[in-house]
Structure 1
Amino acid sequence: MDEATRKLFGSALRQLRRRANLSQPQLAGQIHVSQASLSRYESGSQSVDLVTASRLDDLLNAGGALRALADQAQSLSWPDDPGEEEDMRRRALLAGAGGAVLGGALSALDPVRRDTEAALGGPVAEHDAVEWERAADEYALLVNQLPAQRLLPELLVDLDDARQHLDRAPERLKPRLARVCALFGGIAALSLVGAGYWREAGRYWRLAERAARLSGDRTLSCVIGGRRSVFSLYAPGSTPDTALALSSDALAWSDGQPNAGTASALATRAQVLAMQGDRAGARNSLNDLEAVFDRLDDDVTRGPGHREWSWPETRLRHVQSFVHSHLGAREAADAQDAALALYTYPSSLGAAQVRCHQAMSMIVSGDPTTGVRHVVDVLESLDPSFRRGFVKTSAVRALRALPERAAGLPEVRQARELLGASA
């Protein structure tokens, strides 16, 4: 079993045992191993065979999570070339064990988040702040490019590692480690909303916001709050009032200064008003956003890799596309083209949303068949896991613009099948 997999297995095992109110000797006796062996399983220093993992899974009601980790690890083989080994291990964990874990183990791993929240209430520490910050930057480049089932397992391993070091760092590192926890929590939330795990994402948004407050970084609090407000526009059951309240909360952290969070909060307002058909309000909010964008620092608008926490021009053009498309404005087509031209990855989720804006415009302009075909093309271009998140909401909104006479089109049925639910 690969080291990262052992750590993930051990973390989940430890949390599940504690949740079951069992001591190590008690659990070890039930599965007929020594306490020392169980301790090594939990620390990640010893691999677990499939039979033992299955016993643990059944006893702790893990829902297949522990069994899946052990089962997937059995199928992993490593190349003889040491130079390729680390990269192969990482890819295999992401594509193999990671995919099996997310479906059945997200709830089992949730105690990691709860323990992190609890630890943030007391002493917060970190063994090497620079390394954690670098890891957070790397994850910010991967989120929404990799499906959640590939990204989250490693992210949660690192979150658990950070949690285990909370009590050992000097006082001076507390704010930096809290900031890392905020970034990890926010990235986890972003990955989950992309895959449609809205309830779980809410828990990580709350963790991220709390950690940001404890870090003392008001700009980070604004940035995380602003991103949360944007994605609340796509959550099932969310209301315009909820989105506006979240955007107001984010703006309260800005101290009147322009930053990526301020831009996100204003973007939320403009999009809410556009969905409500308030042309004047939406355009005024869009003007406010454009004015703030012009005042953003270059490292925010043109930072390395356009990280998830930055606010590049792509995002401004995306919001313009959303607003004009929902208003049925004549500027919609130009805004859509301008946004798509800036996306580095044509298959990225943001680009998929803009293509849904195009489909909406086609439908509203009187060409429902072409519009629905466009939705189908968008959905077929995505990993199936991405059809359940915020792109699904964008596709559903485009389909809702269809006239009744178009409901029987075969393309509509195909789109609904791809979405996996009635639109």
Structure 2
Amino acid sequence: MSDFKRTLRSLREAAGLSQPQLARLIPVSQSSLSRYESGKQTPDTATVQRLDDVLEARGALRATVASLAPDPPASDHGRRQRIVGRTEVEMGFGGSAALADGVELLPAPYVGVITSETLGIYDTLLNQYAQLDALAGPRAAIGAVSEQLRTLEGMLSQASGPIRVDVARTGARYAEFAGWLAQDSGDHVAAARWSAKAADLAAETGDPYLTSYIWMRRSNVATDAGHAAEGLLLAEAAGRSDQLPADLCALALRQQASAHAIAGRERETAAAIDQALEAVTHGTGRSGLAPYCGPAYLQSEGAAAWVRLGRLDRAAQLLTDALSNWPNDQARDRGIGIARLARAHLLEDDLEQACEIGHQAVVAVQTSHSARALGELGRLRQALQPLHGQRRAIELSDRIQPVLPQQGA
């Protein structure tokens, strides 16, 4: 154990990460990571594997744990523990987190033969849930996805041989999507946990495209929570392969741009945005994992980075171009783009244009039930507050206010 704790601390410091930063990447609590480094607690083998992957130890960290105790066996119903305000269910996937407060996701025993045709139906269902989420927000899909995860966990406990890889692949995609639903509902803790578990499953498949996509999603969870260093580390991991198709290259670069913007690095942000748009416009190949990743989406995400950096002129131009070509099946993301454009005009002191577009944003966002979309509306309303003496600003602010979640609700 002494070799492990010394190696862990050395690798963390070499990566330039603090204990809180590394803990969020795994994710574990900071107190647990501190106990690992002091030798007061023994991590399980799944956690050691994640530490080795995140720190790019190439097996050096795993090599120090041959004498560690094996993972404790999971019961047939999974291991459960209580956290503040939420029931967290640790499933046989090696994953944890509830998708909704007070809901326990218990593994569902699977009865029947596991075939590629069966898994194909689950893949079709996942695509339909994604369409439902894009049109109606995360609440519309969250219950069904949690039920399917229970069944897939039951499948994985029984599967062996080649079909197990296929079950793990489907499970990874569902766990990643559960992470997205949690993120879009405003729960970054659950989002980080589900995304980390999706990464575990993807590693079992050996699929470089799926692995890249999930590392990108983990980066997105980190930057959405304002963590630049973690987001950049994960984005660089997502884009490391030279053989990625255009959409995965573009998404990894988009995440690098977001991380650089949080850190205030304008030149690096500009380069990453330009490279992402070049990749999706002129690059070759598609992974099939990110149908939403087109020029309009990347322009909107790039604009968010420019707003963060205070370059409102560049943000407004990107958003105007994006909204003129936005796909009809991405209503929520279009609403986010409209709200961003209204705020960009407002911050440029163009109140008339900001209010005209802002009213459109309210219509687009109010039925989405998306924390991200509502957050953009909230930021628009906050930007209106200094203009409380102007009639048009008051009218827009008053229209936004009842759409936003009420404190204590």
Q: Same fold (TM over 0.5)?
A: yes
Match of 1:145 among 116, 135, 143: 135
Letter in 2 for 1:269: Q
Q: Distance in 1 between matches of 2:290 and 2:194?
A: 16
Residue of structure 2 aligned with 1:419, choices 396, 404, 407 = 404
Q: Cα distance 1:262–1:407, how it changes in 2: closer, same or farther (>3 A)?
A: farther
What aligned pairs does 1:322-337 form with structure 2 within 5 A after superposition? 322-326=304-308, 327-337=310-320
Aligned residues: 311
| Contact 2:192 2:221 survives alignment (8 Å) | no
Give, in whole Å, the separation in 2 of the partners of 1:278 and 1:136.
37
C-alpha distance 187-391 of structure 1, shift in aligned 2 (>3 A): same
Deviations 1:241-265 (A, max 9, x none): 232233123234x356344333222
Is the CA contact 2:231–2:255 (under 8 Å) kept in the aligned structure 1?
Answer: yes
| Pick aligned residue for 2:266 from 279, 283, 286 | 279
Percent of pairs identical after alignment? 16
Match of 2:36 in 1: none
Match of 1:10 in 2: none
C-alpha RMSD over aligned residues: 3.8
Deviation at 1:361, TM superposition (A): 1.9
Cα–Cα, structure 1 residues 246 and 392, in superposed 2: closer, same or farther, change >3 Å? farther
Give yes or no for the alignment of 1:261 onto 2:244: no
Cα distance in 2, alignment partners of residues 296 and 310 from structure 1? 16
Q: How do 1:185-224 residues align onto structure 2 when only pairs under 5 Å count?
A: 185-224=175-214
**In the aligned structure 2, how far is the partner of 1:181 from the partner of 1:328?**
41
Larger radius of gyration: 1
**Offset of 1:203 from its aligned partner?**
2.1
Deviation string 1:84-137 (CA, Å, 9 cap, x unpaired) is: xxxxxxxxxxxxxxxxxxx9965423444xx99xx9xxxxx9443333333333
Aligned amino acid, residue 226 of structure 1: M
Q: Deviations over 1:317-349 (max 9, x none)?
A: 323433455543544444223211332237712
Is the alpha carbon distance of 1:298 and 1:267 closer, same or farther for their aligned partners in structure 2, counting shifts above 3 Å?
A: same
- Deviation larger for 378-387 or 358-367: 378-387
Query: TM-score, with normalisation over the residues of structure 1?
Result: 0.62
Correspondence list, 1:31-70, <5 A: none
Q: What is the distance in 2 between the residues matched to 1:142 and 1:374?
A: 25
User: Counterpart amino acid of 1:265?
Assistant: A
Cα distance change, pair 399–244 in 1 and its aligned pair in 2 (3 A): farther
Distance 1:277 1:360 in 2: 20
Which residue of structure 2 lines up, in the alignment, with residue 242 of structure 1? 230
Structure 1's 363 and 320: CA in aligned 2 closer, same or farther, altered over 3 A? Answer: same
Q: Is the 8 A contact 1:260 1:310 kept in 2?
A: no
**Structure 2 length normalisation: TM-score?**
0.64
On the 8 A contact 1:192/1:200 being kept in 2, the answer is: yes
Q: CA shift at 1:417, angstroms?
A: 4.3
Superposed displacement of residue 224, structure 1:
1.6
Q: 1:174 Cα shift?
A: 1.7
The structure 1 residue matched to 2:104, chosen from 109, 112, 121, is: 109
Measured after TM superposition, the shift of residue 270 of structure 1 is 1.7
Q: What is the identity, as a one-letter code, of the residue corresponding to 2:198?
A: A
What is the Cα deviation at residue 204 of structure 1? 1.5
1:382 partner letter:
V
Could you list the per-position Cα deviations for residues 346-375 of structure 1 after superposition, in whole angstroms to 9, with x for gaps in the alignment? 771211121122112211221346535644
- CA gap 1:195/1:373 in 2 versus in 1, 3 angstroms: farther
- Counterpart amino acid of 1:290? L
Give the corresponding residue for 1:345.
328
Aligned letter for 1:379?
V
- Is 2:269 aligned against 1:289? no
- Report if the CA contact (8 A) 2:250-2:275 is conserved: no
Q: What is the SS of the residue equivalent to 1:181?
A: helix
Q: Secondary structure at the match of 2:210?
A: helix
Provide structure 2 residue ranges, at least 5 long, that are not aligned to the other structure.
1-75, 88-97
Q: What letter is aligned with 2:235?
A: S
Q: Distance in 1 between matches of 2:361 and 2:320?
A: 16
